[in-house]
Structure 1
Amino acid sequence: MSLATIPDAIEAIRAGRPVIVADDEGRENEGDVIISAELASQEWIAWLVRHSSGFICAPMTNEIADALALPPMVAVNEDPRGTAYTVSVDAANRLSTGISAADRAHTLRVLADPLSMPSSLHRPGHIMPLRAVDGGVRERDGHTEAAVDLMKLAGLRPVAAISEIVHDSGEMMRLPELIEFGAREDVLVITILDLMHWLEENRCDTIPAPIEPIPEMSRVQFEVETTIPTVHGSFTVRAYRDNSTGADHVAFIAPGTLEHLGDGPTLVRVHSECLTGEAFGSLKCECGPQLDAALETIQRDGGAVIYLRGHEGRGIGLINKLRAYRLQEDGLDTLDANLALGLPADSRDYGAAVGILKDLGISTVSLLSNNPEKKRQLEERGVVVGDLVPLVVGVGASNEGYLETKRDRMGHQLPSTAVLDEARLTAKGL
């Protein structure tokens, strides 16, 4: 067996099979197994662990790493090759401890899932994501970039699994031993140099990213329906399991709502979980009063409140949210505090809400929200949003700066400071 062609390697990747990629003798002179994270199976990951160092990394684009809130492992990278390690991860809904082949394959698939969000992952974990240099192997001739380039060429999500091939003794395997191993295991072997030449010969100036799948109702799974009396009135409550993140979501539906679909837009509030504001009455946000006002309005006018769990702190999680609060005490606003932690300003994904709306048969809504980004995400996924219905409640001295930041820097449709002051006085009964 000799070195394989690049087109054959691309076809193997597309079929979910591994490919061995060797780098230059003057570099690491190592061979890494590369396999698609999107297509990772328990069987192939178990095979990878048996024949490698067992240290599995997940190369991905910077865009995906940013979307999943995967900051660099260290502020100053002292790795001689500049390998861009991030914090390690497990899937949030892992099957057991995270180390098994089944768990690691699952984590890899979560990393590659376009519907995943930061809350889909736990940190630290047993998979080590790597940030690939933009431009691929023509900018950096490493296995990280080769893996991402191969995924793109195969039309797959640009997230891979890689690990170094070793002998039973633990020593690194080199060419031509890698070719012998590939022949024995029926796995193709290529080199990064051949990949670079092939890209040049085929004039691949840029490698297009794969087309993202359109989120479907399969994002969520309906579990149970019941009736719950509340201080705002009685609601039909439907519970859903998020197949992407493992989170539980609920829809509170006012009486008669589903019987009158088609009479016009349905009033809908898509509400993100906020433990501090809803359970403990925190005055640093308006989430608790917003939820109460939404339930009151929906009960009076008809419609549904979709409550999304896993959105704490605009998707960064409770601990990171409290860390951001601590930075705000030092003078940062809510946006800069997230960025200072290496996290997105807002990493929430509303795909689950779209799945729930589809399950309920709701296709046209009036959205009870101040957030145009929420409207944009729903519309991108096929929901017709007639208008944004403002929800300005819970304004106070402790959150006025927070609301101004959301208005001035995050595009929320909130009134001027003077009107916010008036709302704050009204809330106090003055």
Structure 2
Amino acid sequence: MSLKPSQTELTARARADLRMGLPVVIEIAGTAALVVASETLTPERLADLRGFGQVLLAVTPRRAVTLKARAYSDSVARIIVPGDEGVAWIIGVADPADDLRKPMKGPLMTERGGDDRIAAAAITLAKSAMLLPSVVLSCVPDGMAVAVEHGLTRLDLTHAPVVPPLATLDEVISARVPLSVSEAGRLHIYRPEDGGEEHYAVEIGRPDRDQPVLARLHSACFTGDLLGSLKCDCGPQLRAALAAMGENGTGVLLYLNQEGRGIGLANKMRAYSLQDQGFDTVEANHRLGFEDDERDFRIGSEILKKMGFSSVRLMTNNPAKVAMMEAQGVHVTERVPLQVGRGAHNAAYLDTKAAKSGHLL
């Protein structure tokens, strides 16, 4: 029978459960814990977790630095939740929204030693669900029994990573879409097997698969691409890249659903709110608990290879994209600068990208 869900399918189910506030059971090498995303935790479920023993709040080392809490690990900090504190305290520690108004969060006691793999895996799962990278967990004596009794998703990660290195992408469909920059437009839809966001390839004309194609890896930006936000240069870059491909007669623009440098739109708005408090884009990400950039550009190289391309003229200001393409076996014959959209509202943002992220601006 093939009705039993695979590891990939269970992971997709667990992501959805965390987003809805439902606990999941994560088990590694016989040790198990109930895990709930901090931002979707309710008082009732916190009380249920406490029924199993000590509750821990897991955050990333980036967030721990802001909180002045000891991580004792490169992957996670496990903060002991006091027995008399509730959901409001947990959200206050996990979410930096009120850090400036309430800078004193502690002193915070963190666990040292022991196996932190479940906590680290849970953080990774929360990130992949586009939630704050923070979870609440409580160890349980028998993960299988708890999952069966309460109808919960159980992930046994003893022999598997919580998120595969790169999910397989399959083309679902492509169809002709006449565009203002070129009537010879075609949109390809790619769907990852892990249940994640679909990604798109906009093909202009009929590029020769044996020649370097003019290409751009463009990360989705709802605010810039659709609303015309002046806080970034994404919208102007998108339109300029498509216009250049139209003038060239051929090209491929990969529209990757990795909003906010891979942290999702809600977390991007959290970062914007922190920027309004005076933090730059990198500092805001760190305070939230994310790295500078959480995107996976390998998705772009994988789509290009599936489309039959092995070399590109890459439209980018980001050397990391060039290095990734080369590492993934797609030769970059030329880096084509794309410096457009600078203005009063995004000058500091662009300066930060140049100074801290290495963009060539």
TM-score, length basis structure 2: 0.61
Deviation of 1:63 (Å): 5.1
* 1:330 matches 2:277: yes
8 Å CA contact retained: 2:313, 2:334: yes
Aligned with 1:241 (options 186, 191, 194): 191
Task: From the superposition, tell whether residues 319 and 54 of structure 1 become closer, same or farther in structure 2 (CA, over 3 Å).
Answer: same
| Residue from 249, 252, 272 that aligns with 1:304 | 252
The answer (yes or no) to whether the contact 1:73–1:85 under 8 Å persists in 2 is no
Q: Unaligned 5+ residue runs, structure 2?
A: 1-25, 32-51, 62-72, 78-92, 96-104, 146-160
1:285 deviation in Å?
A: 0.4
Give the Å deviation of 1:351.
2.1
- Give the counterpart of 1:270 among 192, 212, 217: 217
CA contact (8 A) 1:239 1:249 kept: yes
CA–CA distance in structure 2, aligned partners of residues 356 and 324 of structure 1: 29
Question: 1: CA distance between counterparts of 2:348 and 2:360?
Answer: 15
RMSD of aligned alpha carbons? 4.3
Q: Please give the alpha-carbon distance, in whole angstroms, between the structure 2 residues aligned to 1:129 and 1:267.
A: 48
The answer as to 2:178 corresponding to 1:229 is yes
Query: Secondary structure of the equivalent of 1:230?
Result: coil
Shift of residue 129 of structure 1?
A: 7.1
* Aligned match for 2:296, one of 346, 349, 353: 349
Deviation at residue 284 of structure 1 after TM alignment: 0.4
Q: Give the one of 137, 141, 157 matched to 1:164.
A: 141
- Cα pair 1:222 1:238 within 8 Å, conserved: yes
1:73 positional shift: 4.8
Cα distance in 1 for partners of 2:225, 2:273 equals: 20
Partner of 2:29: 35
* Structure 1 runs (4+) greater than 4 angstroms displaced: 53-57, 59-66, 72-76, 79-89, 124-130, 212-215
Label 1:358 to 1:123 Cα distance change in 2 as closer, same or farther (>3 A): same
CA contact (8 A) 1:239 1:251 kept: yes
Aligned 8 A contact 1:272 1:308 in 2: yes
Q: CA deviation at 1:254?
A: 1.0
Separation in structure 2 between the aligned mates of residue 82 and residue 317 of structure 1, nearest angstrom: 32
CA contact (8 A) 1:272 1:307 kept: yes
Whether the 8 Å CA contact 2:311–2:333 is kept in 1: the answer is: yes
**AA of the residue aligned to 1:390:** P
Contact 1:219 1:351 in 2 (8 A): no
Q: Can you give the 5+ residue segments of structure 1 that lack an aligned partner in the other structure? A: 1-31, 38-52, 67-71, 90-106, 131-161, 169-209, 415-430
Q: Distance in 1 between matches of 2:129 and 2:332?
A: 30
Instruction: Give the AA of the match of 1:292.
Output: R
Correspondence for 1:407? 354
Paired positions, count? 262
Counterpart secondary structure, 2:177: strand
**Which whole-Å CA distance do the structure 2 matches of 1:63 and 1:378 have between them?**
27
User: Any conservation in 2 of the 1:232–1:299 contact (CA below 8 Å)?
Assistant: yes
How far off its partner does 1:249 sit? 0.6
Answer whether contact 1:251 1:304 (CA < 8 A) is retained: yes
Q: Do the aligned partners of 2:316 and 2:335 also contact (CA within 8 Å) in 1? A: yes
Q: How does 1:11-410 map to 2 (within 5 A)?
A: 34-35=28-29, 73=94, 76=106, 77-78=108-109, 111=124, 118=127, 120-123=128-131, 163-165=140-142, 215=166, 219-234=168-183, 235-244=185-194, 246-257=196-207, 260-263=208-211, 265-301=212-248, 302-309=250-257, 311-410=258-357
Q: Distance in 2 between matches of 1:56 and 1:35?
A: 20
Question: SS state of the match for residue 271, structure 1?
Answer: strand
